[in-house]
Structure 1
């Protein structure tokens, strides 16, 4: 190698070292400038992750305690402490329990008291149970996303057949969904009950 090539190589090395130090200085300035923001961001992420873990643990603990209260009620339906604990921990499960007990005991007043339950399924089932005549069954079935829509229509049709209102019963049966599990009953009623 010649002297000139050595000098050129040394210059290139010095330039690359200079660039390296320049980048290091720029990085240091950046870190100094945004140090507080970076620390705050890391702390925020840690706090959010910690809060999420705590929330999840609390929620799981609450679910477990509600399940224990529910199992205690299954063992002893008259356990008022377990019932109150269930109401506090899981109002939806509480309403389901109250509804199931009211149905089992044929307690119409308790069923009525659940009419405005915030548990959608209980509220829907109570409205179905309270529908005792063809008009109220039709009213129930006319609402969107009700559970027993087809059953309410069939029940209303049966009541109308008993009252000898054949055309009205036929109209109710025609409203039953073709995919319904009650299609065989509807076909039988259309064949034997109406014609």
Structure 2
């Protein structure tokens, strides 16, 4: 290496060190100017992270306590302490427990849990032999027993002598339905009417 190359190399090194120091000074100035904002942002982020984990822990604890209380209610439906825990920790499980208790007593339960509410409506429609109520329940797209409700509607129509209506109702049930065996039996019966 020549002396000129050495001088250029030293200039480049000094230049890169200058740039590093210059950027460091810029960062330091930015930090000093926005120190409060940066500290506040860090505190907020830490608070959010800690809050998230505390909330998650509380939810998990509530879930476990509600499950234990629900198991106690299943063993002893009259356990008022467990029912109270369920009521405060998990309203849906409380309503399910109320549903089970009311059903065990032979009464018609009043619940707001989506599928149980529909099931109660379906049971009531069957008990009352109400075609209009069965029709209402079976028209709900996400009803679990939709095809069975349609079949029961057709069965009630056949019992009432409305054979053409029953045939039309049975056509609403898809051929790949699990109720299809029952549908075929009823169709054979209706073929003679």
Relative to the length of structure 1, the TM-score reads 0.86
Alignment match of 2:131 (pick from 113, 130, 134)? 134
Partner of 2:160: 163
Partner of 2:146: 149
Cα 1:168/1:10, change in 2 over 3 Å:
closer
Please list the CA deviations of residues 8-51 of structure 1 after superposition, one character each: whole Å capped at 9, or x if unmatched. Answer: 44433333333332222122112212222221121111100000
Is the counterpart of residue 178 in structure 1 residue 175 in structure 2?
yes
Assess if the C-alpha contact under 8 Å between 1:95 and 1:122 holds in 2. Answer: no
Cα 1:153/1:10, change in 2 over 3 Å:
closer
* CA apart distance, 1:123: 1.5
* CA apart distance, 1:70: 0.6
Partner of 1:11: 11
* Alpha-carbon distance in structure 1 between the residues aligned to 2:85 and 2:114: 21
Please list the CA deviations of residues 100-148 of structure 1 after superposition, one character each: whole Å capped at 9, or x if unmatched. Answer: 233333213xx2x33xx1x211211111122131221112212332222
Gaps of 5+ in 1: none
Assess if the C-alpha contact under 8 Å between 2:167 and 2:190 holds in 1. Answer: no
Cα 1:42/1:185, change in 2 over 3 Å:
same
RMSD: 2.0
* CA apart distance, 1:5: 4.8
**Counterparts of 1:1-195 in structure 2 under 5 Å?**
4-108=4-108, 111=109, 113-114=110-111, 117=112, 119-131=113-125, 132=128, 133-195=130-192
* Alpha-carbon distance in structure 1 between the residues aligned to 2:36 and 2:80: 55
Relative to the length of structure 2, the TM-score reads 0.87
Q: For this pair of structures, how many residues does the alignment match?
A: 189
* Alpha-carbon distance in structure 2 between the residues aligned to 1:150 and 1:8: 87
Q: For structure 1, which segment, 165-174 or 59-68, has the greater mean C-alpha deviation from structure 2 after superposition?
A: 165-174
